[in-house]
Amino acid sequence: MADKLPSARFRRQLKEQLPLLQSEGLISPQQTQALSDRYRLTALGSEATNTLLMTIYTIGSVLIGIGVISFVAAHWNDIGRDTKIIMLVSAMLAAHIAGFCLWRLHGGYPKLGHTLVLLGTLIFGANIGLIAQIFHISGNPENAFMAWSLGAVVIAYALRSVPNAVLAVVLAIIAVFAGASHSPHYTHAWFPLAAIILFVPFIYYTKSRWTLCSALLLLTLALPYTFARKGGGEFSTVSGASLAGVLFFAWGTLSRQKERWSFISPPAWTFGVIAASFALYLCSFFDFCRNLLPHWQMSPFTSFSTFSVVAVILLIAAAALWLFSLTKTGTIIVFLLQAATALTLILAAALPWFVQPYTIAFSANLLLILLIILLFCAAFACEDRRVFWAAVLLAALLILGRTIEYETELLIKAVIFTACGVGIIVAGVLFERFLKSRRAV
Amino acid sequence: MTKTKTTFLFLAAVIVQLAILALVPAKQIYARATGRLITLKVVPVDPYNILSGHYMTLGYKIAQMPSDPRQLDGRQIPVYVVLKEDPNKLWVVDSVNKQKPSSIPPDKLLIRGRTSYRGIEYGIEAFFVPEDKREKIAADFRANQNNARAEIKVDRFGNPALIKLLLGDNTYEY
């Protein structure tokens, strides 16, 4: 018996259809019974009652909650400091403990219980703000969100709770950007490394795709952003993004070798390609490259700071992951694609070390073209429509960028745009034909 | 996983959350309990925009950068400010140091801050006020711009906690 049943709607429809199918002689009474058992159709009625009850409980508890909050809000100014704190902490503990009992101890209401535990973590976050307010603390909002995120992570690990983990990642993303409004020169150097240490084991522990994708998004944003906040402007942004690209791509390739971890590959590759092509695309503009060099001295790679340590650790980690991923190979085409794409990504990471703006812009354009070709090859090799359209999008962006960047005549622009349009349509048709022929085989 | 183990892990996680909550006001509680009470002169940051959301932004005389700001650039670096009492019983800056002074005379006091592009920040710049009193306090603040003071407590490590706001003859404490 499969653990996961299809949606209740499908099962209801199936329940309606089964007698019809049986009367038409398409299936035997034994098969009807087997299907009914397989999809637990007899339990549908009681499940509906349970859902209804749960909805009523949820609405009821939300209303009670609003009532209590309104009552407290009306008298908030008259309540003493200690009472306020006791009330805030009690609300958090009540949500946590009630949720835990319903979910794990009683076991009868796992969803309601899980929701209450999540509510407990939300109240925990509100409490950080309210307690800071009671004591007139004015600090960096970055720290408050990081503390909240840490609290959510701890609950996520203790109860294997994916919603708490995703909440923690979202809070960490907010923390990265919340610091910006506070002060332009203040950020935590260890942030990307801490995020990896906190969230990656959880991904392995629960095999949660949601946590994986949100954590990849966090790092894709955090690496370029935190590096740039240290100083070095554009140069640091490019280094951070390309570092993320190399790291994710190597991780994805390594994960592909074990069936258990293969779910990591597609998102890791996707974010790797996004991060690397972002870095390459920025560098493909000549003016951008000219601005890279004045900031060179302040970047994490050229001036020693905690940021340099983090950058070097991540670079070594990426190289190590990549080396390990080379030990086993699939088919030769896949191997070549992996090796060549990884080369592109590693070159992207090395890009800022080229000295002349012309060299950087030229190499970036060349590497982008290489990346586009490789994506097209991968699309055909894997028969994946999404990879194909990603390649088309990147190609279109590249051509658009060059056309905007250089003062070209209107006639040439017209020719380029027409050629692009025709190219996209032809490529799309050819690819669809290819897919159709493959699927027919 | 057994129920006992899950319960244990859950309780441990909740204790961590409680510990984080306790850490948020820990320094303030310590400063309130053990600190030395001093009065600081409050200067208007932007008198027509005192209220930002739930709190008033307070500017302090001691937040102004020393005359030679080259030694302390705009980045957020920790500074150790030594204060002394002036004849008006208000505490003013004696010296701003990058390193912690080895000893402080008993008539002076150490307070920790951080440099920023706005001056030195001490973490006591926000004064949260109840919603119904906001307009009254803002009006009072505008009327008493030259006689606005704040009472703070500073613990032996130099951590400050904001206690009350004094505007003319009125005292506000929340």
Using the predicted structure, report yes or no on whether residue A271 has a pLDDT greater than 70.
yes
Q: Which of A158, A183, A185 sits opposite B10 (nearest CB)?
A: A158
DSSP-derived letter for residue B154 is E
The pLDDT of residue A1: 39
ipTM over 0.90 threshold:
no
Residue showing tokens 């959880």: A202
pLDDT: which is higher, B130 or B68: B130
For residues B42-58, average pLDDT: 70
User: Mean pLDDT over residues A74-79, rounded?
Assistant: 73
Residue B73 lies in a domain: yes
Whether the per-residue pLDDT at B9 is higher than 90: the answer is yes
B60 close contact with A: CB closer than 8 A: no
Question: Percent of chain A at pLDDT above 90?
Answer: 17
Q: Which residues of B touch A186 (CB under 8 A)?
A: 75-76
- What's the rounded mean pLDDT across residues B103-130? 86
Is B149 part of a structural domain of the chain?
yes
| 8 Å CB contact between A225 and A289 | no
Least confident of A115-119, A293-297, B71-75: B71-75
- Give the pLDDT score at A184: 46
State residue B13's pLDDT score: 95
Q: What is the pTM for the complete model shown?
A: 0.80
Decide if B28 is inside a domain.
no
Higher pLDDT among residues B100 and A71, named by residue: B100
Average pLDDT over chain B reads 84
Interface test with A, best of B7, B24, B122, B125 (most A CBs within 10 A): B24
In a domain, A260, yes or no: no
In a domain, A323, yes or no: no
Whether the per-residue pLDDT at A247 is higher than 80: the answer is yes
User: What stretches of A284-354 show up as alpha helix (H) in DSSP?
Assistant: 286-292, 306-325, 332-350
User: In percent, how much of chain A has pLDDT > 70?
Assistant: 83
Does A4 reside within a domain?
yes
Inform me whether the C-beta atom of residue B47 falls under 8 Å from chain A C-beta atoms: no
Mean pLDDT of A178-197: 71
- Best probe of the B interface among A136, A155, A198, by most B CBs < 10 A, is A136
Number of domains in chain B: 1
What are the CA-CA distances from residue B116 to residues A27, A335, B40 (Å)?
77, 52, 20
Domain membership of residue A20 (yes or no) is yes
Helices (H) and strands (E) in chain A, counts: 17, 0
Chain segment A380-406, per-residue pLDDT in tens: 877 888 888 888 889 988 988 888 887
Say how many domains are in chain A: 1
| Residue A40 Cα, gap to closest chain B Cα (Å) | 27
> How confident is the model over A97-153, as pLDDT tens digits?
999 998 888 777 788 888 889 889 988 988 888 888 888 887 778 888 999 999 999
Give B3's pLDDT tier (boundaries 50, 70, 90): confident
Which pLDDT belongs to residue A337? 60
DSSP assignment letter at B101: P
Q: Mention every residue, 6+ apart, whose C-beta is less than 8 A from residue B36.
A: B109, B153, B154
Token reading at A382: 């894997």
Q: What are phi and psi of A138, to 5 degrees?
A: -110, 110
Q: What are the DSSP E strand ranges found in chain B? A: 36-43, 51-52, 55-57, 59-60, 78-85, 91-97, 108-116, 119-121, 126-128, 148-154, 160-167, 170-172
* Segment 101-160 of chain B within 8 Å of chain A by CB: 116-117, 121, 123-128, 130, 132-133
* Domain span at A7: 1-39
Range of the domain at B144: 35-173
